[in-house]
Amino acid sequence: MKIRYFDHSATTPVDKKVLEAMMPYFCEEYGNPSSIYSIGKKNKEIINIYRMKMANILGCKVNELYFTSCGSESDNMILKGIAFANKHKGNHIITSKIEHPAILNTCAFLEKFGFKISYINVDSNGIINLEELEKSINRNTILISIMFANNEIGTIQPIKEIGEIAKKHGIYFHTDSVQAVGTINIDVKKYNIGALSLSAHKFYGPKGMGAAYINENIPFIRVQDGGHQEKDKRAGTENVPGIVGMGTALELAISNIEENTKKIKELRDFYVSEISKRIKYIKLNGDMEKRLPGNANISFKGVDGSKLITELDKRGICASSGSACSAGLLNPSPVLLAIGLPTSLAKSGLRITFGKDNDLEETKYLIDSLEEIVEGLRYN
């Protein structure tokens, strides 16, 4: 069966050009970058070249970029590393209710070690309230961590303004940008960002490869002990093919950003307008303007989200419901609950995320399939 993939916020396929760039570093150029003979030293240089390329794109210094194993690790490294290194200044951290579990569960961990966390609300469009953010700052606040773009509803937060508030109060600002990097051209200085997490598999790079930008003036301690890699801040033999793949993927994403954005936004808008015309009792979740170009999150009243995914899968369509299924029970999406949806609608969300290789034919197939499936599933 032909697969039609509409789940690019979950992961993306590795771009063929990215794979090509990575290939030599598996079986030919396999030296350990810490070795002092030539094939090791050569790989150390390769790592530095790719660190420089990525730092240039992100607008940070080369010594401010650390390679990690994924977005979750970057989130952990930044939050724990900054929190523990700055505990003498204060124990209060501000985040939002709609963060990814990599942030929320790290915050829960920090709470066990005496940190106090404020989880600020979002409005019905999924955007944080800047006044509430500023009001929740107190003399113990050391860090604000607000995601750039949400993984379920795609909403984009007022990052520059948050950065300005943080700067005004002398607080560090981290943004989980896993969903944004590669789709939005981010310059950390322009946005007043002090620390940022990213993940290669969200922009056609390999899985298991991420990076953390941490401004050189922010004190932080390592959370992964071992050897002296990554300037003594993150132990572990570097993933040379992964670093080459991630750097190549980011360069490709940025150089094609306008063309890809236009294409996926057109498909997304076509999908939303057709679904709105053809299927009754739906709710479009999240702000339609301040949103990632490829994201459409729609609740279909009276339809069980997990059944919808299963039916789409039978037709070769990959999509996602925000709701996690645990022990056979469908939990409503915490993000959809946070924007004020009742439980029933929060259980009936469908996240479609378009990518650069989707086309109109498969989008029409998706729309036709959904029309039929929703009709059959309603209130069943």
Q: Which of 102, 104, 193, 296 binds ligand PLP (CB under 6 A)?
A: 102
Sheet with strand 295-300: strands edge to edge: 282-284, 295-300, 349-353
Q: How far is CA 192 from CA 102, 159, 162, 167, in A?
A: 22, 8, 8, 8
Helices vs strands, H then E, count in the chain: 14, 14
Q: Which of 12, 15, 66, 71 binds ligand PLP (CB under 6 A)?
A: 71
155 binds ligand PLP per the rule CB under 6 A: no
Please, which of residues 208-237 interact with ligand PLP by CB under 6 A? Answer: 210
Binding mask 186-205 for ligand PLP (x = CB under 6 A): -------------x------
Q: Which of 57, 93, 128, 147 binds ligand PLP (CB under 6 A)?
A: 147
Q: Which of 43, 72, 299, 321 binds ligand PLP (CB under 6 A)?
A: 72
Cβ nearer to ligand PLP, comparing 337 with 377: 337
146 binds ligand PLP per the rule CB under 6 A: no
Of 71-79, 291-299, 328-336, 345-353, the window that binds ligand PLP (rule: CB under 6 A) is 71-79
Annotated catalytic residues are: 325
Q: Least Å distance between CB 177 and ligand PLP?
A: 8
What does the alpha-carbon distance between residue 100 and residue 198 come to, in Å, rounded to a whole number? Answer: 13
**Residue 37 one-letter amino acid:** Y
Q: Which of 21, 133, 178, 337 binds ligand PLP (CB under 6 A)?
A: 178
Residue closest to ligand PLP (Cβ): 71
What does the alpha-carbon distance between residue 205 and residue 124 come to, in Å, rounded to a whole number? Answer: 33
Q: Which of 51, 80, 100, 291 binds ligand PLP (CB under 6 A)?
A: 100
**Residue 15 one-letter amino acid:** D
Q: Which of 46, 54, 70, 166 binds ligand PLP (CB under 6 A)?
A: 70
Q: How far is CA 314 from CA 3, 4, 151, 255, 307, in A?
A: 10, 11, 24, 36, 11
Q: Which of 49, 45, 16 is nearest to 29 (CA)?
A: 45
238 binds ligand PLP per the rule CB under 6 A: no
- Number of residues interacting with ligand PLP: please give it, by CB under 6 A: 13
What does the alpha-carbon distance between residue 151 and residue 133 come to, in Å, rounded to a whole number? Answer: 21
What does the alpha-carbon distance between residue 176 and residue 196 come to, in Å, rounded to a whole number? Answer: 6
Q: Which of 351, 346, 347, 344 is nearest to 336 (CA)?
A: 346
What does the alpha-carbon distance between residue 64 and residue 78 come to, in Å, rounded to a whole number? Answer: 12
Of 109-117, 156-164, 176-184, 238-246, the window that binds ligand PLP (rule: CB under 6 A) is 176-184
- Binding stretches for ligand PLP (CB under 6 A): 70-72, 75, 100, 102, 147, 151, 176, 178-179, 199, 210
